[in-house]
């Protein structure tokens, strides 16, 4: 990978306005300054099955969780001052930071809110104030709370705290007593006791996608979306930036940090999407439905030929049954990117991907066959970023990111969908565009305004228009795409 000049990066907030909801979080996080104290990134220490990307422990619900409060002793992680990412922030204050600033700590409130009750009632999980479908509710808890152990009589989990420390770091039953006793014990905890290795970006991304995309034990399916849940559109670079971090990354101010994150996120997302596809096709979860509509492009059913949203009464599941809906590509963007831009172009990966697409777009795709093909492709995919048995982030420079972004802008015209435009936008954003002329930022701002949804449209509901946001005209939109391409082609990245 070529070494990039160190930039004077000052967080440009405009860029992540795209996901308006993220902005709220981003506003809270302070500008990140450089750090000298972070440990050097380690390589994957986990020898286990490469498919799991080293974080199988997140699924170890047989292992006990103790809850965030047990990490909060003042001599451990409950230090006196919230440790917002900065070189001065004291370590050991992860707990207060999480409690005060981390959106995940709100997640128990979310799941017990009115909005949640509406979704749960529509799904028939909640009836007359009682949980009627425990496994349905546990699917929600898997993403919204550390603990999902509930009894039928006790309608909240035993530990109700939202997404706590162990949701990301792994259930602590077996490593709680030892993980702080030096590096050797930490490694031992990672290898054998279920502490997740959250430091290497690929493994870190895999943690995030477990909930922000889904996994074999938790599914955001079309039924839940149609009941009012926002569709998930995860992008690691954008979410990582917005997350109020209780750690520091040595490389966080490097201009290629975002493109590294972007790639790590896309690799993990494709892995998660294939994992999901397999479990959906085999209907292995109580909430599974097959064919699963959210594996397909939303706009193929939801937008009519004139581009207007289709009323629910006119929607037709048959498109999938008849093999007419294209597969949803959001989580496969990294696979496409790597197979276009790297040595993988010579490999059979793209063929395998195309075959799976074809199968999914054939009339009434057979679940068992889809599951088998997804599993095969997932193995093939993991080989392409596994070295010596370890998940390893392939070389990916800011220039590769920029070249890919130019491709994606061209794609917008071809597929003419919100997803492709938003995917291009986040890819551009991950090039860390700080242009000297300011033209690039202005063009991106136009793009962003064009991507925000009015309130009354179907999901994705999160990138909502604020009152007073004027959408660009078609002319302005096209000009902005042109300007962004031109800036990228001129390497106007500084």
Site for ligand HEC in 161-200 (CB under 6 A): 163-165, 167-169, 198-199
* Cα(136)–Cα(349) distance, integer angstroms: 35
For ligand HEC, the closer CB: 268 or 481: 268
490: Cβ contacts below 8 Å, ≥ 6 apart:
none
- Examine residue 32 and tell whether it contacts ligand HEC (CB under 6 A): no
Stretch in the footprint of ligand HEC (CB under 6 A) among 203-211, 256-264, 361-369, 474-482: 203-211
Residues 212-231 that bind ligand HEC (CB under 6 A): 212, 214, 218, 220, 222, 224-226, 229-231
Show the tokens assigned to 348: 């059979």
| Site map (CB under 6 A) of ligand HEC, residues 254-283, x = contact | ------------------------------
| Site map (CB under 6 A) of ligand HEC, residues 450-479, x = contact | --------xx-x------------------
- Examine residue 139 and tell whether it contacts ligand HEC (CB under 6 A): yes
Show the tokens assigned to 161: 């705290």
Q: In whole angstroms, how close is the CB of 419 to ligand HEC at the nearest point?
A: 9
- Examine residue 322 and tell whether it contacts ligand HEC (CB under 6 A): no
Show the tokens assigned to 187: 């490694």
* Cα(277)–Cα(284) distance, integer angstroms: 10
* Cα(275)–Cα(217) distance, integer angstroms: 10
- Examine residue 298 and tell whether it contacts ligand HEC (CB under 6 A): yes
End-to-end Cα separation, the chain, in angstroms: 18
In 3D, which of 2, 96, 83 has the Cα closest to residue 399?
2
Q: In whole angstroms, how close is the CB of 142 to ligand HEC at the nearest point?
A: 6
C-alpha separations of 128 from 43, 133, 135, 153, 316 in Å? 51, 12, 18, 14, 31
* Cα(211)–Cα(164) distance, integer angstroms: 13
Stretch in the footprint of ligand HEC (CB under 6 A) among 206-214, 256-264, 342-350, 438-446: 206-214
Q: In whole angstroms, how close is the CB of 100 to ligand HEC at the nearest point?
A: 11
- Examine residue 320 and tell whether it contacts ligand HEC (CB under 6 A): yes
Q: String of b and e for 238-259 (b: at least 16 CB within 10 Å)?
A: bbbbbbbbbbbbebbebbbbbb
For ligand HEC, the closer CB: 185 or 478: 185
For ligand HEC, the closer CB: 132 or 486: 132
């Amino acid at each position: 990978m070529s070494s990039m000049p160190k930039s004077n990066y000052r967080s440009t907030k405009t860029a992540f306005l795209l996901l308006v909801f993220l902005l709220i979080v981003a506003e809270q996080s302070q500008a990140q300054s450089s750090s000298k104290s972070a440990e050097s990134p380690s390589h994957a220490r986990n020898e286990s099955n490469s498919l799991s990307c080293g974080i199988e422990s997140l699924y170890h619900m047989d292992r006990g969780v103790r809850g965030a409060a047990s990490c909060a002793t003042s001599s451990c992680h409950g230090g006196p001052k919230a440790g917002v990412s900065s070189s001065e922030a004291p370590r050991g204050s992860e707990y207060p930071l999480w409690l005060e600033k981390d959106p995940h700590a709100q997640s128990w409130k979310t799941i017990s809110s009115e909005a949640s009750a509406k979704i749960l009632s529509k799904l028939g999980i909640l009836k007359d104030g009682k949980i009627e479908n425990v496994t349905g509710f546990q699917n929600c808890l898997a993403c919204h709370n550390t603990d999902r152990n509930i009894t039928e009589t006790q309608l909240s989990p035993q530990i109700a705290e939202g997404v706590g420390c162990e949701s990301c770091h792994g259930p602590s039953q077996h490593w709680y007593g030892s993980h702080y006793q030096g590096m050797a014990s930490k490694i031992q905890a990672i290898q054998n006791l279920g502490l997740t290795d959250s430091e290497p970006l690929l493994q870190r991304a895999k943690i995030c996608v477990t909930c922000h995309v889904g996994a074999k034990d938790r599914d955001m399916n079309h039924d839940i979306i149609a009941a009012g849940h926002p569709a998930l559109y995860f992008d690691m670079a954008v979410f990582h930036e917005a997350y109020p971090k209780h750690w520091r990354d040595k490389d966080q101010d490097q201009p290629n940090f975002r493109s590294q994150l972007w790639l790590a996120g896309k690799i993990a997302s494709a892995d998660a999407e294939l994992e999901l596809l397999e479990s959906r096709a085999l209907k292995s979860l109580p909430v599974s439905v097959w064919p699963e509509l959210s594996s397909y492009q939303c706009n193929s059913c939801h937008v009519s030929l004139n581009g207007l949203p289709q009323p629910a009464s006119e929607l037709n599941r048959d498109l999938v049954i008849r093999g007419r809906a294209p597969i949803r590509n959001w989580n496969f963007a990294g696979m496409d990117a790597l197979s276009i831009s790297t040595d993988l172009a010579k490999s059979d990966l793209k063929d395998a991907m195309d075959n799976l697409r074809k199968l999914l777009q054939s009339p009434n795709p057979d679940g068992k066959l889809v599951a088998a093909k997804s599993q095969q492709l997932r193995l093939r995919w993991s080989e392409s970023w596994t070295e010596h048995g370890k998940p390893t982030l392939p070389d990916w420079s800011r220039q590769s990111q920029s070249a890919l972004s130019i491709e994606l802008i061209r794609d917008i015209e071809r597929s003419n969908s919100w997803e492709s435009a938003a995917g291009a936008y986040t890819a551009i954003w991950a090039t860390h565009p700080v242009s000297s002329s300011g033209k690039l930022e202005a063009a991106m701002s136009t793009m962003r305004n064009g991507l925000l949804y009015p309130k009354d449209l179907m999901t994705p509901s999160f990138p909502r228009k604020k009152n007073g946001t004027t959408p660009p005209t078609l002319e302005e939109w096209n000009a902005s795409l042109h300007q962004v391409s031109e800036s990228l082609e001129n390497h106007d990245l500084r």
